[in-house]
Amino acid sequence: MSGITYEDFLDLSYTPTETDLVCTFRIAPAEGMSMEAAASRVASESSNGTWAALHIDDTFTDMGATTFSIDGDTIRVAYPAGLFEAGNMPQVLSCIAGNIMGMKAVDTIRLEDCEWPEAIVEGYPGPQFGSGVRQEIFGVDDRPILATVPKPKVGLSTERHAEIGYEAWVGGLDLLKDDENLTDQSFNPYSDRLTESLAMRDEAQDETGEKKSYLINITAETNEMLERADEAASQGNEYVMVDVVTAGWGAVQTVRERCEDLGLAIHAHRAMHAAFDRVPDHGVSMRFIAQISRLCGVDQLHTGTVGLGKLANEDTVGINEWMRSDLYGLKDVLPTASGGLHPGLVPQLMDAAGGNLCIQAGGGIHGHPDGTRAGAMALRQSVDSVTEGVPIEEYAADHPELATALEKWGTETPR
Ligand code: CAP
Ligand code: MG
């Protein structure tokens, strides 16, 4: 009978195998706890150890993790692939983002990044379309696709919601999007909103000759989400939207499976992510949220506005690069920039984040002095100024909707 003690989980001479999952954490050991002692406890508690030395026999399968690198406040931990059930994202999180987030051995701990081995990635579908949605749904490959959320966020009637959608679509936007907290409320029921918005979509398509679509929010209990996805597909829509953090990762996996059958793209809203990725020293990073979102198979994901918008900044450019990186053949994810954006910010945004993007503006469209259609025209014109290589102020000289937007908001970030 041999035992397992904390010391078994620290080996600075260990070299990870190609099948290991390698996680990078930043930790602050508790008072009186050495970095080595805290680092071994992180590996232990996130794999198969606990606080007491344990007795084991030859029936035991050792799935213990190994802290193999300590560099300042940063540790790297290697996990055997066999610790993780294939294709079970909740169980992955229960290991690498579970008990260790609350263990007394560390004052703070943050999961910053994961290096995913093929042995784990092959258990997940990845995106059905990825950034290919631009071409496959809209026939666009030379500019960002543009979206708007009717505002106020909730409370609009179904008819008014659809009308705003029509104005935005004929003004030049590609996508109408539900807000993260609009689902199936009495003032704007899901089925009615779907039907009436798609009727307006069809009219806008006929009028503009451009493909238009709708990010309808199906977020709910899982079985309800499946029914709502079925309904969206049956009515000829191309997307569903899911609040992936509040819905839960197991539910996202179930919706992804159904969307494969239905041919629906998934737009992932990340509401609640800031509960654990905003504080720089504790929780999990947005980079990690983007990684598990890609594995679970969303096609579009909000990843920030490179500091231009109204919400806290993060490593948007680095996250977007990872979402496009090679990952054993998994499709990429189209970044969505949103939150406090308006036409005057588009050149800076595209300069920093490129054009393979979805740009969403709510207040920056509907707050336009001449209304939603003019706001949509201004946003499309601002994108056109970039793709045509003309300075936005010069472009605005013969594009009055853009000129009005610049006069109202300039190129400043709202607070
Ligand atoms: C933006 C938005 C989005 C945020 C989400 C909102 O509206 O609809 O939910 O962008 O943040 O409700 O605030 P505005 P993120 O365009 O009117 O700001 O994209 O960072 O996840
Ligand atoms: Mg919103």
List pLDDT tens digits, range 352-384. 999 999 999 999 999 999 999 999 999 999 999
Mean pLDDT of the chain: 96
Taking residues 311-335, report their average pLDDT. 93
Give the pLDDT confidence score for residue 411 in this predicted structure.
87
For the segment 229-255, the average pLDDT, to the nearest whole number, is 98
Q: Best mutation site among 151, 276, 338 for ligand 1, i.e. most ligand atoms within 8 A of its Cβ? A: 338
Q: What pLDDT, in 10s, does the model give residues 260-312?
A: 999 999 999 999 999 999 999 999 999 999 999 999 999 999 999 988 877 77
**Residue 307 has what pLDDT?**
82
Q: What is the pLDDT of residue 56?
A: 84
Are 229 and 218 spatial neighbours (Cβ–Cβ below 8 Å)? Answer: yes
**Ligand 2 centre distance from Cα of residue 195 (Å):** 21
Mean pLDDT (whole number) for 143-155: 96
- Which of 151, 161, 273, 342 is catalytic? The answer is 151
Catalytic residue among 212, 269, 331, 366: 269
Distance CA 284, CA 313 (A): 15
What does the DSSP 8-state code read for residue 73? T
Q: What is the pLDDT of residues 26-75, one digit of tens each?
A: 999 999 999 999 999 999 999 998 877 778 888 988 899 999 999 999 99
Question: Which residue's CA is the nearest one to ligand 1's atom 1?
Answer: 339
C-beta 364 within 6 A of ligand 1: yes
Across 408-415, average pLDDT: 83
pLDDT tens for residues 157-211? 999 999 999 999 999 999 999 999 999 999 999 999 999 999 999 999 999 999 9
pLDDT digits (tens, 9 = 90+) for 87-107: 999 999 999 999 999 999 999
pLDDT, tens only, 257-273: 999 999 999 999 999 99
Residue with the smallest CA separation from ligand 1 atom 10 is: 339
Question: What is d(CA 134, CA 145) in angstroms, rounded to the nearest whole number?
Answer: 7
SS3 67: strand
When pLDDT is cut at 50, 70 and 90, the band that residue 113 belongs to is very high
Determine whether the shortest distance from the Cβ of 179 to ligand 1 is under 6 A. yes
- Delimiting residues of CATH 3.30.70.150 domain(s) in the chain: 8-121
Do the strands 175-177 and 213-215 form a parallel or antiparallel pair, or are they unpaired? parallel
| 85 Cα to the center of ligand 1, angstroms | 34
44 belongs to an annotated ligand binding site: no
Residue 84 C-alpha to ligand 2 middle, in angstroms? 34
Strand boundaries in 161-221, DSSP class E: 175-177, 213-215
User: Ligand 1: which atom is nearest the Cα of residue 179?
Assistant: 8
With a cut of 80, say whether residue 413 has pLDDT above it. Answer: no
Mean pLDDT, to the nearest integer, of 338-358?
A: 96
130-409 CATH fold: TIM Barrel (3.20.20)
Task: Judge whether residue 1 has pLDDT over 50.
Answer: no
CATH number of 8-121, picked from 3.30.465.10, 3.30.70.150, 3.40.1010.10, 1.10.10.60: 3.30.70.150
Q: Are 291 and 322 in contact (CB under 8 A)?
A: yes
- pLDDT for 219 beyond 60: yes
Helix (H) or strand (E) holding 24: strand 21-29
Tokens of 153: 């966020």
**What pTM does this model have?**
0.96
> Where along the chain do the CATH 3.20.20.110 domains lie?
130-409
